[in-house]
Structure 1
């Protein structure tokens, strides 16, 4: 998702040695999700069966692929062997450092989650302490899986802040100027990528969530805070300074204070209600709760409409805790957005399927994607594919 496919080296010509590297990468991409036979690999990649067989044999020798049990025979003759990508040969790590919970997950090289854990730090903990908590969680997960830090090939980190070149430029108190990648580099040798959590949630929804068929989408987080991320042409939009989608910083939109419409709301029976209670009362038909939700939705809709009119997405995905209210929240939100989208029909506004897992899923996916990007860079360079027991940070010096 973060790779710009129009710049994909698989579409570029070159020398025979470079072509062999690109063929290897094409085969890896083909067998990443499903074990295939040589004829199937040849059909998907466009290689001849002889070339496909040669590439697969080399990938097996290097440890990137392995033969698996053939499918049950459907006719005469011996069934053909199938080959799979060894996604479990190493792991990537996704970390989500939130305001209340720090989470980490181990995933294989395809981004499939193997294990996860979390810790609830003190609200007063400084950034360095939160990163140290994340490292401890990762170490526990690695130990439980019988793995070491050396087997971690990439780390993706999601944080609720504006991030530019891994440094927080706008965030919670104490975070501005903090370099998350530098804080982790003393513990891990692998590449580390840091992104805004809404950007990674947008990536996750486009990759595995509610927007898998869309090439452009807007993600809006609506919970204790409000944030947004944008995907255009299958690529997460970061902007020149990492601040794309941060329209909530404009006080005129009212996003920063929107939650006040759902706090301490007086209900028809005289009770004072918090956010969850307001949504529940609105679902039950309490007119005062319905009005409160409508006011809140109207404020959120202004920012969503601004994003829709700016980037013209195919779909808007709404995540965060407020989505648990379902159509009690989404129906008035859709109505307000439709009213504000005066020059085009409002796009579908759908709930996140990943819910609170969106940002951590995006972090693990970013880490897996980073490994793939390095494979592309290797294939596009002048070095052959390395053995799979060589980690990515040594590919440029130890590939053979």
Structure 2
């Protein structure tokens, strides 16, 4: 008996059965580059008339369209009409991912296959207040949509990464270091703990906006399009204007009960805060000597260390080693396949990665592969786009009343 008849017998509800079959059909097209009617039937286990009916509905909705057959090895064409192929329409919707950081806001737009259509970036004053920063993010997103030649009504999902640990009932919380005034030296964007970040972004963009921790989104992007594409269990270490970490288990960001999973910078004995401060102090000193603007302290230290400046080398090695000890704590806890070193500082290459690897190896029980991020500055925004895609797909595949 076919799956649809079996399900009908169990459910006794043809309307619900149709919704289930339609969701299954759409899911099949999402997972494959293209499908024939025969292949669709095989994947979802329905009769030919049912498959034809489902395909017709998806075509009418604009979610699926006929496409050219995949290229086949040259062999004589058999008798009969050639099979027709159909594909999911990636352009049947678009999502936008935002990154709101201390020094910049960045937006990307992708279609529903994750193909990037446009990217927009805007530099920010690190002291800019929350209202100004959120307004700049909204303007950057809208400029990105215009560049992609899309209207706001074309955008079907939006997500944003910010610095901070997020709790559903409380909005942005200071990076998992405890509540304000706890004495644990939290890091967060100015004023963000006092505003409704999702609400402000949603109002400015005219779309619901999902908000998540930026480091965790960068880890998600690395798994989606970066150096960790073929791995499921990952520890991601962020090295930039601050240090941070994220964990992916079975390809999914591990949030934890309160959204604070991976926030090991809260442990004073790791010394992350002091190491970051020394790195920034050395970078600021180099910037003053060179007469350059603030905001690129890490790059200044890397450049100086590459020239074998002893003080810069010592500061950079200390930073790498402190970060590696935190990575070791997470690696011992979750036993990952690999560790990804990301963030702006990761662009330093071996000068940061090698001392990180050496220190990590001292504390882990098994050898761990350490790779440097391939995502660059777009990682948080792309991770946000992936989150938005997941949200859109969950809504498309949801079956009301099931």
Q: How far, CA to CA, are the matches of 1:22 and 1:85 in structure 2?
A: 18
CA contact (8 A) 1:220 1:317 kept: yes
Residue 156 of structure 1: SS of its match in structure 2?
strand
Residue number in structure 1 paired with 2:339: 316
Contact 2:101 2:162 in 1 (8 A): yes
Aligned residues: 364
Supply the distance in 2 between the matched residues of 1:25 and 1:351 (Cα, whole angstroms): 38
Q: Which of 353, 356, 365 is the matching residue for 2:377?
A: 356
- What is residue 235 of structure 1 aligned with on the other side? 252
Contact 1:253 1:299 (C-alpha < 8 Å) held by counterparts:
yes
Q: Structure 1 residues 332, 20: CA separation in 2 closer, same or farther (over 3 Å shift)?
A: same
Tell me the SS of whatever aligns to 1:53.
helix
2:193 aligns with 176
Contact 2:138 2:205 in 1 (8 A): no
Give 1:129 shift.
1.7
The answer to whether the Cα contact below 8 Å between 1:153 and 1:191 also exists between their aligned partners in 2 is: no
Please list the CA deviations of residues 177-216 of structure 1 after superposition, one character each: whole Å capped at 9, or x if unmatched.
Answer: 3211110232344332000001111111122222222222
User: Any idea what SS the aligned residue of 2:336 has?
Assistant: coil
Which residue does the alignment assign to 2:207? 190
In structure 2, the CA distance between the partners of 1:212 and 1:180, relative to structure 1 (3 Å rule), is: same
What displacement does 1:78 show?
3.5
| C-alpha distance in structure 2 between counterparts of 1:212 and 1:71, whole Å | 25
Which runs of structure 2 are paired with 1:285-324 in the superposition (5 Å)? 290-324=313-347
> Structure 1 residues 320, 350: CA separation in 2 closer, same or farther (over 3 Å shift)?
same
Q: 2:218 aligns with which of 201, 206, 225?
A: 201
Q: Distance in 2 between matches of 1:144 and 1:323?
A: 29
Aligned: 1:121 with 2:144: no
Instruction: Give the unaligned 5+ runs of structure 1.
Output: 1-9, 267-271, 384-400
Q: Give the Å deviation of 1:289.
A: 5.1
SS in 2 for 1:184: helix
Scaled by the length of structure 2, the TM-score of the pair is 0.81
My pick for the range that moved more, 118-127 or 95-104, is: 118-127
Structure 2 counterpart of 1:167: 171
Q: Does 1:369 align with 2:390?
A: yes
2:134 corresponds to which of 110, 131, 136: 131
Contact 1:215–1:232 (Cα < 8 Å) also in 2: yes
- Which among 243, 259, 266 is matched to residue 249 of structure 1? 266
Contact preservation (8 Å) 2:135, 2:204: no
CA distance in 2, matches of 1:169, 1:286: 38
CA RMSD of aligned residues (A): 2.8
Instruction: State which of 329, 337, 360 in structure 1 corresponds to 2:352.
Output: 329
Work out whether residues 229 and 244 of structure 1, in 8 Å CA contact, stay in contact via their aligned partners in 2. yes
Q: Which consecutive unaligned segments of at least 5 residues does structure 2 have?
A: 1-6, 175-187, 284-288, 291-296
2:19 equivalent in structure 1 = 21
Would you say the 8 A contact 1:63–1:86 is kept in 2?
Answer: yes
Distance of 1:361 and 1:263 partners within structure 2: 27
Q: Is the 8 A contact 1:261 1:293 kept in 2?
A: no
**TM-score scaled by length of structure 1:** 0.82
Give, in whole Å, the separation in 1 of the partners of 2:263 and 2:218: 14
Partner of 1:389: none
Are 1:345 and 2:355 an aligned pair? Answer: no
**Alpha-carbon offset, residue 317 of structure 1:** 1.0
Whether the 8 Å CA contact 1:249–1:256 is kept in 2: the answer is: no
Q: 1:242 to 1:72 in 2, by over 3 A?
A: closer
